[in-house]
Amino acid sequence: MALVDVVLQVGAGVSALLVVAAVLVVGPSRLRSAPRTVRSNARAVAPTFVALVAVLAANGVIRDIGVELSWLIGLNITGYIHAVEGSTVAFVQSFATPALTAYFGFVYIFGYVFLLVFPLAAYAMHEESRPLRVVLFAYIVNYGVGLLCYILFVAYGPRNFMPDMVQPLLYNSWPQAQLLTSQVNVNTNVFPSLHTSLSGTVALLAWRFRGVYPRWTPIALFLAVSIAVSTMYLGIHWATDVVAGAFVAFASVEAARSAADRQEQGESLLPNPLGELRE
């Protein structure tokens, strides 16, 4: 199976999840008025969205040279992580069953992509732009911190560091997944876990904006916890990576709120076409 086949498979699965969630979470009334609301919110958050695209593009470019740069200036912390937590991941894998492996493999790939994409679509259909603005800022902080850490620290995942104790369960059960994951990450980029930080960010913001989509909050919380556990169960991340990712999530949400506040305050001072200040 080629990479394009895997991408199409993931895209089809995530699209199905998005359609179901849109109906159940967003609701028919908001979906009917979505075109007008989305256009309004798109104009409001356009600079922030462009900044996120720029950060993602920089991640893609720097990732190609980041490994060499990391080996030049970074600190190899794999041994320290192993010394702290030992066989924690191997213990988690001791509970492995075919059903659990199928579930955690699904949430690691399909659930993760869905969890990141759905808030962008859902909050774009909300009457106010602030939730979407905060999500975009939070994603920028996550990817920025992740890129910096991946340059400053060299860390191999448990499946690479102790292959005799930890199995690559995702790739054993679905070998084609490696075609996809190899496009977005390398073996030395595991600290912190961006799967955990971004999933945790979405869950925290779902709770903070729970009044917008009450049904989304328990779904986001459940998926975020499942994804964090999946990173250890599948042998991809250490528990240390997950804890660090949780801290990044909290910091990202606070930084995003502050950035959104400053941007909104600045916009409120811009003159409107009549020469008056916005309130």
pLDDT in tens, 226-241: 999 999 999 999 999 9
Domain hosting 227: range is 3-268
Q: CA–CA separation, 34 vs 152, rounded Å?
A: 43
Q: Which residues pair with 277 in a beta bridge?
A: 271
**How does pLDDT run across 196-209, given as a tens digit for each residue?**
999 999 999 999 99
Asked if residue 278 belongs to a domain, the reply is no
Residue 279 counted as domain residue: no
Number of folded domains that form the chain: 1
Map tokens 């007008």 to a residue: 36
Kindly report which listed range (21-25, 148-152, 173-177, 239-243) carries the lowest average pLDDT score.
173-177
pTM given for the model: 0.91
Residue 153 domain flag? yes
What's the pLDDT at 264? 81
Give the confidence band of 64 by pLDDT, cuts at 50, 70, 90. Answer: low
> For residue 264, is it within any domain?
yes
Q: Is position 274 within any domain?
A: no
Structural domain includes residue 230 = yes
The answer to whether position 275 is within a domain reads no
More confident residue, 1 or 110: 110
For residue 251, the model assigns a pLDDT of: 96
What's the token pair of residue 53?
């695209």
The Cα–Cα gap between 46 and 119 comes to: 16
Nearest to 161 by CA among 227, 77, 218: 77
Mean pLDDT of the chain: 89
CA–CA separation, 252 and 216 (whole Å): 20
Per residue, the 3-state secondary structure of the chain, as one string, reads CCHHHHHHHHHHHHHHHHHHHHHHHHCHHHHHCHHHHHHHHHHHHHHHHHHHHHHHHHHHHHHHHHHHHHHHHCEECHHHHHHHHCCHHHHHHCCCCHHHHHHHHHHHHHHHHHHHHHHHHHHHCCCCCHHHHHHHHHHHHHHHHHHHHHHHEECCCHHHHCCCCCCCHHHHHCCCHHHHHCCCCCCCCCCCCHHHHHHHHHHHHHHHCCCCCCCHHHHHHHHHHHHHHHHHHCCCCCHHHHHHHHHHHHHHHHHHHHHHHHHHHHHHCCECCCCCECC
Answer yes or no: is 132 within a domain: yes
Looking at the DSSP bridge assignments, the partners of residue 76 are 154
Residues near 221 by beta carbon (within 8 Å), at least 6 away in sequence: 203, 206, 207
Q: How far apart are CA 85 and CA 136, in angstroms?
A: 34
